[in-house]
Structure formats: C-alpha cells, structure tokens
Amino acid sequence: MNDMSTDGYTTADGRKIGGTLMEMKNITLSFGGVKAITDISFDIKEGEIRAIIGPNGAGKSSMLNVISGFYIPQQGEVWYQGAKRPQMRPYEVARQGIARTFQNIALFDGMSVLDNVMTGRLNHMTTGLFAQGLWKGKAEAEEVANREKAEKIIDFLEIQAIRKTPVARLPYGLKKRVELARALAAEPSLLLLDEPMAGMNVEEKEDMSRFILDVNDEFGTTIALIEHDMGVVMDLSDRVVVMDYGKKIGDGTPDEVRNNQDVIDAYLGVSHD
Amino acid sequence: MFYREAGDYKTSYQDDGQTFPIKFDRYRYYFVLFVAFAMVPFLINDYWVNAIFLPFLIYSIAAIGLNILVGYCGQVSLGTGGFMAVGAYACYKFMTGLDIWIGGVQYALPPINIFFSVILAGLVTAVVGVLFGLPSLRIKGFYLAVATLAAQFFLVWLFNKWSWAYNYSASGQINAPEREIFGVAITGPSTEAWATYLFCLVIAALCAIVARNLTRGASGRKWMAIRDMDIAAEIIGVNPLKAKLSAFAVSSFYIGIAGALFFAVYLGAVEVGEAFGIQKSFIVLFMVIIGGLGSIFGSFAGAAFLVLLPVLLKLMLADSTDEISGFSSAMSWVFLVAFAAAVVMLVINIIRTRSLIAGSGVGWIFASIAAFMAYALTIGGMGWPTDIVAHLQLVIVGALIIIFLIAEPHGLAQLWRVAKEKLRLWPFPH
C-alpha cells in the first residue's frame, strides 16, 4: 500500500488536503463493442473537491457508476481507503461510506422529504425486524437518534419548512436539494454528485454551490462532482479531471486544465488538416 | 374546526413520530378500541359475528399482509389464497398434533394451544412466502404477478393431493376440532359469538400495531424505497434481496395467520379449492386497492367495504319485509331512472369537458345512489331476486375498482385523508 500514501497538498485558499482516499487504476469499461472508458487512472484525495468534466458522451457518468458499483469495469482496479476494492454490489459500496446523487433526480416519490432523508440513515439503523415490530425500546430509541441526525442535515440545507411534504409536490430545485440531503444523511466519506446544478437558474446554482462548499467545509466530506457549467467547476473544485471520448485528456488544478491545449481542443474543436 | 391540530405542539421527535400525532385522531383511536373491546362483545350475536365481524377482522389481517407486500414494497402478488391455505393447513396440523413419519414409525407432537397454532401457522407461511418470493429478485410487475399465480395454483393442488396435510381424512376436508383458551371454546361447533370475536380482534389489533410499527420505521422505509425506485434504494445501501424477501416474509406471516383464523375460527371446515381458490387472492387484492395501497387504515377500510357490501346489498335489495307493494316497485323504477340519468349526465360531461373530474355529474350519481339506499333501507328491502343482487354485487365491485384506479388510486384511505384536510377548516373558508 505504498502507492496509497501519496502526500496531501494545500489548496490555493489554504485548505489542507489529506492523503489519497480513492484511486482508480487503469479503468476500462465497454458495453459490447462500445468503449465507454479507456484506461483511465486518477485519484481523489481526502477533503478535496474533485471535478470530472468533459463534453457529452465523454464517459463521466459511466465513471461515477463504476465508483458507485453499478458498472463493473472489464479492466482496472478501484482502491478505496488504502485497500483494493473487491467486486461489490451498489449497496455494499454505499455501506463503505460512498453516497451519491443522480443526474435526473432519483428520489422516492411516494415518501415525504423527512422519510427520504431518513432513508439516507438506513445504513446506520441496525435494529432487527422483531424489535421494530415492538417499537418501544430499541427501535424507537434508534429512530429518534437517527431523526436527530437527519434533522441536522435538514437544518443545514434549509429545508425545514418542507420536511413533511411529499417530494412529488416539490419544484425541481428543491428536489435536487432533498437528494443532496439524503446523500448527506448517510454521513459519507466520499460524496458523488452527478450534475448537481443541471437545469438550475443562476440563483439556484449559487445556492447549490454554497451548499457544496459548506458541506466540504463543515463535515470535511470529500466530494467528486460532474458538472457542465465551467464557471462553477473552476470556482468550486480543487482539481479537475477532463475526459473526452472515454479517455483522460487532462488532470490538474483548474488553472492547469484551463491552459491545457488538449482540453481547449476538446471543448472548442480543432481543425483536422 | 372539527378536526384540529392547532395548539398541539410537539417537543420531541418521539411525539412527532407517533402513530396518531394529532390529539383528535388519538382520542378517536382510543374510542374505537374501547368500543371494539368493551362494547361490541356484549352486543353481538351469532349472525353479526359470522356475517360481518369475523370476516371483517380476518380479511383485515390478510389485507394488511398483502398491503405490506403490494402497497409498501411494490411487489404484486396473486398468491394470497394459496398462502392462506398454507396457514390454514399448518394451523390444522399444529392444533391436531403435528405428526412426522420416520422409517415407517409415526411420531406425533401433542396438540398445541390454538393461539400458538395460529402464530406458528403464520411462521410456516412466512417461510413458504419467502420461497415463492425468490423470483421477485429477478422479475417485476406483471411477470411477478404471474409467478405468484403459479404459487396459488401449486399450493391449492398440493393440499388437494397431499393426504398428510389433511390427516388422511376420506373427504379431503379439514375440520377444526374444539379448542379452548382459558376454558372458553374458540374453535369447533359450540363456540360463542363474543369469544371468537374477541380472539380474532386481539390478533387483528396486534397485527395492525406491529404492521404500523414496521412500516413507520426502518423496514418500512426500505420497502417503500424499493417500491418507489429500486436503483436509488440500492445506492443508499438497501440490500434489495433482504428488503424484498423480508416483505414477502412479513406479508405471508400475516396472510398465514388470516388463513389459519379463516379455517379454524370462521369456517370450521375447509375444502381447499373452495375456500382458498384464486377468487380469494383477488378479493384480498381488491380490498387493498379499494382501501388504499400503502395504508394500514386502508386495509381495514377495504376489508370493511367488501365484507359489508354484500350484506348491505342483501338488506337493501333482496330482503323484503312483506309482499312488494306496487308503490315500492314503482319507486325502484324512479330511482333506476334517476341513476341512469345521472350516469348519462356524467358521460356527456366527460365527453364535453374531455376530463374525468371537471364539472362532471359524479355528485348526482352519489346523490341518487344515496337516496336509493336510504329508501331501500327504510322500507326494509326491495325484494329483488337474490341472483340478480348477487350479480349486481359483482358489477358494483368491478365498477368501483375501475373508478378507484382512475380517480383515486390511493383508495378509501386517501378519501379519508382528504376529508380530514377539509374538516380542518370547515365550515370556515380560510
């Protein structure tokens, strides 16, 4: 595990970033003949905000799905918290402390906001069926303790007023926030955000950016996010991976990436002559 | 005004998470319990118990069970009848002394107390339910419904053919022998109305409370997460295998208890194809749909509705106190015409507005039905032929299922919720 002890660094705004939390090594993923990801390696360090960007179809969401266990790469290794991760089902990945949100919201429509956030606590609730049926005692104590944790997240994301509302009734921007709340309620060590600001107006984007920074700041959560809004990405993230056609074409601080010729070519197009 | 939450402040999460957070609801619930436990047993006779209370309580348990599976966990099942049969036969074996043949020698347990027989029957059914729930890990929706349908037919076939299950009786039937609790007969021919009623009531109440506790806590959220979006459920750490199978287990446990009570306490003698055929699966499913998917109260409401409907129709339409007078039959024509007119109005309105709800004549239909019911009950029955009434019952149940699926998929429970919302302000507009 020598290669996992890569040292941390200090960001431009003075935050200390720790050692490597997750490392992707030579990941290759294909669907039949289509190669979604080709031989990509990158790492995510403890406490940083890591962005994955790239044009449409670059394989960013596939990458997130590999991390969260939905896709199993044909080649490559996923290292997490200093150990090679064996093949896992998504729920096992979740139990390792990785939470995520989805590009198109995946909330539980039949449940209230509070219940949705409480589902994020399920991994921390261990009472058996029998005790739950009795309720009084262990199950109730556990419910109350986890409710307190969930309420903290609800306060943090300022959704107190809607906690009893069924999520199906909420507007888009709030749904995104509830989804973030559900992911945070799990107290993840790594939070994956798939386009957290897609389809939002400027104000909503500002709110969401503030929440992401606050989460990172207050809980020290490591965040990996996919986002298309370059302004947001460059402002928020500490380091950026750039993908194009399933390959990694750039990796570094926002400034480095911004001046990378390959990246500029991928985004602006290049004349083939 | 009649239903208020004003001034009812919660100061702990414990208070906020209780089953009836609003005082009014809570007192009404205590009142219902009081009536059910302390008053009804003194008022009922054999007719009321056998026609209404026993089937209502037993079907409620089955409906709660199916609701956990279909309403909370989103897994469709048409195997209810088969699982009830498992409960009935398991209960029969336990209450008559379970026997095992090993190497040609018969070993038999002593007969088990009826209460524990019923609970054990539930546990056996839970195991069987889990076995037949295994396909749910791979298939969903209609395909799962067909797979559970296979369970239904297989189990009925099994209990027809497997003579061990009915203690090798010549008729192939099972008959509940007399069994007592605290010296009071619960099963068998010489039971008293209040005893069987109280026995079923206690079990139904326990079942409902446990179901409520399960569904408001972590298990319920797991089930609902699987129902609403299984991929997202998995990503937050719900093991779909465990969640689905636990829903099948709990659901089958309830249905098994219902089957055991249906056989031992209610019918007393059972022939499996007749008592636990496919129609039983559908009746319980209809109860869940009409009552309200994902609601414990809805399970009771749906069971009450489908148990009361035939009784009510019989009272209204078939029975008649004396010879049908010319006036009464004329009145029935008047109501029929009013009802037909209301239906025509509704159809015209739907076509005109291209909407099921806007400005339709639903109110008129309800009004004409209500008027007819009131009239029929006051004169003590219309005296129609019983076969017409029986067919009419099928028509009404079918129509109601269609109406509920279109207009109110969450069933009677949702109507009740809406009514409560309205009552909060009524009679003031704001």
| B144-201 pLDDT tens trace | 899 999 999 999 999 998 888 888 888 888 888 888 888 888 888 888 888 999 999 9
Give the one of A70, A122, A183 whose C-beta lies nearest to B218's C-beta.
Answer: A122
Report residue A208 as tokens. Answer: 């969401």
User: What CATH number corresponds to the domain at position B114?
Assistant: 1.10.3470
State whether B339 and B269 are in the same domain: no
Are residues B236 and B334 both part of a single domain?
A: no
In a domain, A193, yes or no: yes
Query: With contact defined as beta carbons under 8 Å apart, do A137 and B10 qualify?
Result: no
Whether residue B413 lies inside any domain: the answer is: yes
Q: What is the ipTM of this complex?
A: 0.89
Cα gap A157→A159, rounded to integer Å? 6
**B19 → chain A, closest CA residue:** A135
pLDDT, tens digit (0-9, with 9 covering 90-100), for A118-163: 999 998 888 888 888 888 888 888 889 999 999 999 999 999 999 8
Considering the domain boundaries, does residue B366 fall inside one?
yes
User: Is there a single domain that holds both residue B233 and residue B286?
Assistant: yes
Confidence (pLDDT) at B356: 59
What is the model's pLDDT at position B353? 67
The minimum CA-CA distance between A144 and chain B, rounded to whole Å, is: 6
Does B334 lie in the same domain as B298? Answer: no
Query: Among A228-242, B9-23, B78-92, B308-322, which stretch is predicted with the lowest mean pLDDT?
Result: B308-322
> Does the beta-carbon distance from A110 to B228 stay under 8 Å?
yes
Which residue, A78, A53, A67, A75, is CA-closest to A250?
A53
Same domain, B274 and B319: no
Cα–Cα distance between B48 and B188 in angstroms, integer? 18
Residue-number span of the structural domain to which B383 is assigned: 315-425
pLDDT (0 to 100) of residue A6:
55
A139 to chain B: closest CA residue: B217
What is the pLDDT averaged over residues B91-108? 85
For chain B, what is the mean pLDDT? 84
Looking at the fold, whether B90 and B215 belong to one and the same domain comes out as yes
Are A189 and A97 contacting, i.e. CB atoms less than 8 angstroms apart?
yes
B13 inside domain: no
Top residue of A67, A108, A164 to mutate, by most chain B CBs within 10 Å, is: A108
Task: Say if B35 falls within a structural domain.
Answer: no
Q: Number of residue pairs across A and B with CB atoms under 8 Å?
A: 108
- Does some domain include residue A152? no
Assess whether B337 and B288 both reside in one domain: no
Chain A residues contacting B via beta carbons under 8 Å: 68, 70, 89-91, 94-95, 99-100, 102, 106-111, 115, 118-120, 122-123, 125, 127, 129, 132-135, 139-140, 142-144, 147-148, 151, 182-183, 186
Residue-number span of the structural domain to which A258 is assigned = 2-97+188-268
Residue B10 included in any domain:
no
B281 or B401, higher pLDDT? B281
Number of separate domains in chain A: 1
Per-residue pLDDT at B106 = 81
pLDDT band at B319 (very low <50, low <70, confident <90, very high): low
Kindly list the distances between the CA atom of residue B17 and the CA atoms of A186, B211, B231, in Å, as whole numbers in the listed order: 20, 15, 27
Last residue of a domain, one of B287, B307, B327: B307
* Chain A residue numbers touching B294 (CB-CB < 8 A): 110
Q: Look at A53-62, B77-86, B327-336 and tell me which has the smallest mean pLDDT.
A: B327-336
Best A96, A119, A189 residue to mutate vs chain B (most B CBs within 10 Å): A119
With respect to residue B145, please indicate whether it lies within any of the assigned structural domains: yes
Which member of B12, B232, B239 has the closest CB to residue A108?
B232
Tell me, yes or no, whether B224 and B181 share the same domain. Answer: yes
> Which residue in A has a C-alpha nearest to residue B247's C-alpha?
A129
Nearest CB to A134 within list B213, B239, B250:
B213
Q: Which domain-ending residue is among B290, B307, B324?
A: B307
| CA distances to A211, B83, B355, B401 from B306, in Å | 51, 20, 29, 11
pLDDT band at B386 (very low <50, low <70, confident <90, very high): confident
Let me know whether B161 and B291 are in one domain. Answer: yes
Residue A144 lies in a domain: no
Instruction: List Cα–Cα distances, B60 to B63, B195, B260, B287, B298, in angstroms.
Output: 5, 18, 13, 9, 9
| In a domain? residue B27 | no
Q: What is the SS3 assignment for chain B?
A: CCCCCCCCCCCCHHHHCCCCCCHHHHHHHHHHHHHHHHHHHHHCCHHHHHHHHHHHHHHHHHHHHHHHHHHHCCCCCCCHHHHHHHHHHHHHHHHHCCEEEECCEEEECCCCCHHHHHHHHHHHHHHHHHHHHHHHHCCCHHHHHHHHHHHHHHHHHHHHHCHHHHCCCCCCCEECCCEEECCEEEECCCCCHHHHHHHHHHHHHHHHHHHHHHHHCHHHHHHHHHHHCHHHHHHCCCCHHHHHHHHHHHHHHHHHHHHHHHHHHHHCEECHHHHCCHHHHHHHHHHHHHHCCCCHHHHHHHHHHHHHHHHHHHHHHHCCCCCCCHHHHHHHHHHHHHHHHHHHHHHHHHHHHCCCCCCCCHHHHHHHHHHHHHHHHHCCCCCCCHHHHHHHHHHHHHHHHHHHHHHCCCHHHHHHHHHHHHHHHCCCCC
- For residue B36, give the nearest of B214, B262, B208, B188 by alpha carbon: B208
Does residue A242 fall inside a structural domain? Answer: yes
What is the count of structural domains for chain B? 2
Q: Which of B222, B231, B240 sits opposite A106 (nearest CB)?
A: B231
Q: Which residue of A has its CA nearest to B210?
A: A133
Q: Is the dihedral of CA B91, B37, B309, B413 positive or negative?
A: negative
Do residues B177 and B67 both lie within one domain? yes
Q: What distance lies between CA B66 and its chain's CA centroid?
A: 8
**Do A127 and B217 make contact, defined as CB atoms within 8 angstroms?**
yes
CB contact under 8 A, A94 and B234: yes
**For residue A141, is it within any domain?**
no
Q: What is the CATH number of the domain that holds A68?
A: 3.40.50.300
Task: Say if residue A235's pLDDT is above 80.
Answer: yes
Would A74 be classed as within a structural domain? yes
% chain A with pLDDT above 70: 97
Contact A119 B228 (CB under 8 A): no
pLDDT band at residue A5 under the 50/70/90 scheme: very low
Q: Among residues B282, B307, B332, which one ends one of the domains?
A: B307
**Same structural domain for residues B158 and B292?**
yes
Please state, in angstroms and rounded to a whole number, the distance separating the CA atoms of residues B105 and B140. Answer: 45
pLDDT in tens, B257-293: 999 999 999 998 898 888 899 999 999 999 998 898 8
Closest chain A residue by Cα to residue B237:
A91
User: Is position A107 within any domain?
Assistant: no
Do residues B55 and B182 share a domain? yes
Cross-strand partners of A242: A53, A250
* Least CB–CB distance from B14: residue in A90, A100, A144: A144
Phi and psi (nearest 5°) for B88? Answer: -65, -50
The pLDDT value given to residue A4: 42
In this structure, chain B runs to a length of: 430
- Of residues A119, A132, A144, nearest to B213 (C-beta): A132
State both tokens at B321.
């106190």
Q: What is the pLDDT of residue A3?
A: 42
Residue A103 lies in a domain: no
